[in-house]
Structure 1
Amino acid sequence: MEHLKPGEWVWAPDVSPSGPVMVYVDLSRQIGVVYRNGVRIAATTVSSGKAGHATPTGVFTILQKDAKHRSSKYNNAPMPYQQRLTWDGVALHAGGLPGYPESHGCVHLPYGFAKELFAITKLGVTVVVEGDAETHVRSSDNSLLVPFDAQGKPVDRTPLSGGEQYRWNPQLSPSGPISIIVSKLDQRIVVLRGGVEIGRSVAQVNDSDPGSHVITLATRDGKPRWIYVGLPGHGDDEGREVDESVINRLRLPRPFYEKVKAQLVPGTTILVTNSRVSEGPLQHLTVIDAIMPTP
């Protein structure tokens, strides 16, 4: 992937013809990767937000799709094959690829790649954005889990109280894909459905690895398996099943575990990160609620 030149991309859907799709964007390397059923099927160069317009990092879901979208903010500019990630304007779409971050916050893709990606995704597909464009942009100082209220304004998350072990509110989002964030720094787990937080819990995460990992629930030989997604820098992990010793590094209250377990389906994504999921500055991770702002 690192050998791709600006505007270049690779698309090999036959490697994994079916299964849930996940998109990963690495701002540090300015590349994007597409996985289906836990297997990488495509890679591309991207161009993310320039200085002053940083692309937010975090776990998102595709909220809207519009093949012929035009910007309501930037002089009706065409944004072909747009896939919205936030209601305030961040999206994946075809755009310029000069070899460095130059957008107003969106993730620009090659036109042909954007068209292919548009054809295989559906609303609710998980998109993970991580990294830092280094000298080009710096991470935002916003809170790490920043939902938007009905007016599209950021609001604070409610942390667990002193004696609260976990919280579970599945009625806040009755349907949609499940994404789980495991924070090694905070020793917390947050569960989102359709981009909306439905649960969080205290946890004990015994993992000294400083990096991030993404695993996805895939189907192999007719059985559900947790599979590593081979993120840039962890390419050797790609497609490998998560073994029991790794799973045992995570401990959480059994009632919460049972509630989460009942919701797991192929395509469920887990992001293990050093970012916070509670208040406090450090490595910033944004998770946007899929609540459409009112006019």
Structure 2
Amino acid sequence: MQDSACIVPVCISSWVVFGGSPVSAFSLCTCPSNRGAALATALTLALALIVPAALEPADAAVARRIKREAPAKADARPQIPAGQLHIMISIRSQTVTVYSDGVVAARSRVSTGMKGFPTPTGVFSVIQKNRHHRSNIYSGAPMPFMQRLTWSGIALHQGALPGYPASHGCIRLNQDFAQTLWKRTRLGARVVVTQQEAEPYPFTHPKLFMPKAVRLSEARPELRGTLRTAQADTTANDAERLTIPDGLTLPDYPPVADVTADIRQAILDEDPNAKKPARPSGPVSVFISRKDRKLYVRQGFTPLFETLVNIRDDDQPFGTHVFSAIEAPDSNVKWIAVSLPVDVPKPKLVRPAPSRKLGRKAARAAEPAKAEPVPAPVTPEAGAVLSRIDIPQDAIARIEALLGPGASLIVADAGLGWETGKGTDFIVLTR
């Protein structure tokens, strides 16, 4: 039997929006044999077009999220020259900048702590390095090229860079940067973490330490000329021989060997194989705390001594400043400084007073809270801060006897915090 003529054709068209205007994607027509078939065909075709259209926004959102969370493209392998390193981390810009002797050497992107797991800000140093490291907190998660900053778990290491803070507090670096930095740093390398970007700058001040040899060479010539080796005016050869008068008896002293026997036995009693504590080595670190009114000294992560200091206008803040000694000609050192910027506080929300008639909720709905601007704090000038501190001369002499390239002085309002301990340099937390 031949097919009957098409009485009710069913056509479905698809339109998409492109550049703000509707554009026909395709049209489809069919000729069913009866009205029931026509309705079924129309519903089938409509579903075929509606379902993909309904799914498209979700797929697009997923695609955008995947694109946004894709690891950032690795920077070219950085070249970091020799010198005293400052590794500067900015949380706000999600960047790391490495300075060598105060000059920019490399820059890259990072990923710091997400909400709920913030990366602490302040002054740190590398206290441990491990090429293949796994987290003992987060189920053995790999942390290649790990450089530890605190024993509580904050470190620099290789990781994914989605373009926003995504770690649990650590500072993630891309692969090339993490490898190069790991090879260039030594224990004690300075790391500074701030919200805003900070950078080292050349700095001089009469109260900064200088090597002992340099200070002696700067003594006045007229004083140097008066120094001479001490000489005895009378020697043993000039003394008259002792004569003993007849009838005088001397005490019966024991032989010399017997007198020294106890000393010899004491020497033998000491264990010659006993392990003597190693003397500290490496650059010397000094920390002056306004809160404690003290100066602390460490060398090679080992405490050496501490002493009280005099602070004028001790009710005025110091801020946080790091002074680092770098190599200079003639066995001298020159200093560079980093002044940590003071974070600008968030605007204070001022809510309207509740009305007895309207009630608290109604008052808030009628008049929303207003942001009251807070004056931005001013970072104290480093030179003015040093001028307010008086250090005992004997402490200065002991520090300058150990001074050399790599030495550092930290001046801060904070006290000796809980992160500073065995096997660390001074760790100063600002948040």
Deviations 1:221-244 (A, max 9, x none): 34433322456759xxxxxxxx99
Q: 1:38–1:216: 8 Å Cα contact kept in structure 2?
A: no
In structure 1, the residue matched to 2:286 is 180
- Decide which structure has the larger Cα Rg and report it: 2
Asked whether 1:104 is paired with 2:210, we answer: no
Instruction: Tell which has more relative contact order, 1 or 2 (C-alpha 8 A, sep 6+).
Output: 1
1:227 maps to amino acid: W
Please give the residue correspondences for 1:131-142 in structure 2 after superposition, counting only pairs within 5 Å: 131=195
Distance 2:89 2:279 in 1: 25
1:256 to 383, 395, 398: 395
Q: 2:78–2:177: 8 Å Cα contact kept in structure 1?
A: no
Distance 1:12 1:233 in 2: 30
Corresponding pairs, count: 234
Please give the residue correspondences for 1:111-126 in structure 2 after superposition, counting only pairs within 5 Å: 111-126=175-190
In structure 1, the residue matched to 2:332 is 224
1:70 to 122, 128, 134: 134
Task: Give the TM-score of the pair, scaled to structure 2.
Answer: 0.45
Structure number with the higher strand fraction is: 1
Asked whether 1:198 is paired with 2:304, we answer: yes
Deviations 1:80-126 (A, max 9, x none): 21112233432110123334432222111222221221121123323
Asked whether 1:42 is paired with 2:150, we answer: no
Give the deviation of 1:245 after TM superposition. 8.1
Distance 2:139 2:154 in 1: 16
Distance 1:187 1:263 in 2: 23
Give the deviation of 1:216 after TM superposition. 0.8
In structure 1, the residue matched to 2:119 is 55
Unaligned ranges ≥5, structure 2: 1-70, 197-276, 343-381, 425-431
Root-mean-square deviation over aligned CA pairs: 3.9
1:19 maps to amino acid: G
Distance 1:203 1:222 in 2: 31
Distance 1:176 1:206 in 2: 32
Q: 1:195–1:287: 8 Å Cα contact kept in structure 2?
A: no
In structure 2, the residue matched to 1:289 is 422
Deviations 1:40-91 (A, max 9, x none): 3223333223344333444443233223323333233222211122334321
Distance 1:61 1:131 in 2: 18
Distance 2:340 2:417 in 1: 26
- Shift in alpha-carbon separation, 1:185–1:203, aligned structure 2, 3 A: same
Give the deviation of 1:215 after TM superposition. 1.7
Deviations 1:127-162 (A, max 9, x none): 334459xxxxxxxxxxxxxxxxxxxxxxxxxxxxxx
Asked whether 1:90 is paired with 2:154, we answer: yes
Please give the residue correspondences for 1:237-276 in structure 2 after superposition, counting only pairs within 5 Å: 248-276=387-415
- Shift in alpha-carbon separation, 1:214–1:70, aligned structure 2, 3 A: same
Deviations 1:198-220 (A, max 9, x none): 33222235696754322210112
1:23 maps to amino acid: I
Distance 2:289 2:338 in 1: 19
SS of the equivalent of 2:111 reads coil
SS of the equivalent of 1:101 reads coil
SS of the equivalent of 1:287 reads coil
Distance 2:405 2:298 in 1: 15
- Shift in alpha-carbon separation, 1:278–1:23, aligned structure 2, 3 A: closer
Distance 1:128 1:264 in 2: 22
- Shift in alpha-carbon separation, 1:105–1:265, aligned structure 2, 3 A: same
Distance 1:18 1:220 in 2: 14
- Shift in alpha-carbon separation, 1:179–1:131, aligned structure 2, 3 A: farther
Give the deviation of 1:19 after TM superposition. 2.2
Q: 2:283–2:405: 8 Å Cα contact kept in structure 1?
A: no
Give me the identity figure in percent.
Answer: 34
Unaligned ranges ≥5, structure 1: 1-5, 133-170, 235-242, 280-285
Task: Give the TM-score of the pair, scaled to structure 1.
Answer: 0.63
2:328 maps to amino acid: R
Q: 1:22–1:36: 8 Å Cα contact kept in structure 2?
A: yes
